[in-house]
Amino acid sequence: MNLFFDTSALVKYFHAESGSEDVIKLLDNYDNDIWVSEITAVEFSSTLNRRFRMGEISARALNLAIKAFEIKLTKEWILADIDSQVFATAKELIHIYGKAQSLRTLDAIQLASFKCLQEDELEFVLSDVALSKIAKDSGVRVKLIN
């Protein structure tokens, strides 16, 4: 399968929580091609550091997760570049969904990164219910993991 992972789902691979088992099965299946947006590295680090500040993970767990993420990112996953087309698409998505459904900037960039890829049968994997609804409304195949 061709799977595009939003950060909300990727975090579950590196930090045990609801839905982690499903994410692990998808990411550890070498028959799956895993795509991530270029913005994911920044968003992932931000999310994990927030969890550290909130006392949800230790400094050691934070460092291990970031190192493991970087290895996966550079050696196993396919990186979707962010270019002017992605920004234009994100801007359009915010124009369409920003008022009524509160589409946030990074979520718009993630969804736009997905939409700009021309991969067959690509599915958007995420754990964000609000973004999932917007993605479905915009015609995207979604795999919601909670």
Going from the N-terminus, what domains does the chain have, and what CATH number goes with each? 2-144 (3.40.50.1010)
Q: Whole-model pTM?
A: 0.94
Q: What is the pLDDT of residues 109-118, one digit of tens each?
A: 999 999 999 8
Rg (the chain; Cα; Å): 15
For 43-95, the pLDDT digits (tens) are 999 999 999 999 999 999 999 999 999 999 999 999 999 999 999 999 999 99
Average pLDDT, the chain: 96
Comparing C-alpha atoms, which of 115, 120, 122 is closest to residue 91?
Answer: 115
Measured between alpha carbons, how far is 4 from 122 in angstroms, rounded to an integer?
Answer: 7
- The pLDDT of 86-106, averaged and rounded, is 96
**DSSP code per residue over 65-91:** HHHHHHHHHHHTSEEE---HHHHHHHH
**Residue 36 bridge partners (DSSP):** 79
pLDDT at 120 over 90: no
Beta strand 78-80 pairing with 122-126: unpaired
In the predicted model, what is the mean pLDDT of residues 7-16? Answer: 95
Q: How far apart are CA 77 and CA 18, in angstroms?
A: 23
8 Å CB contact between 1 and 124:
no
Rounded alpha-carbon distances, angstroms, from residue 17 to 33, 93, 96, 117: 23, 30, 32, 29
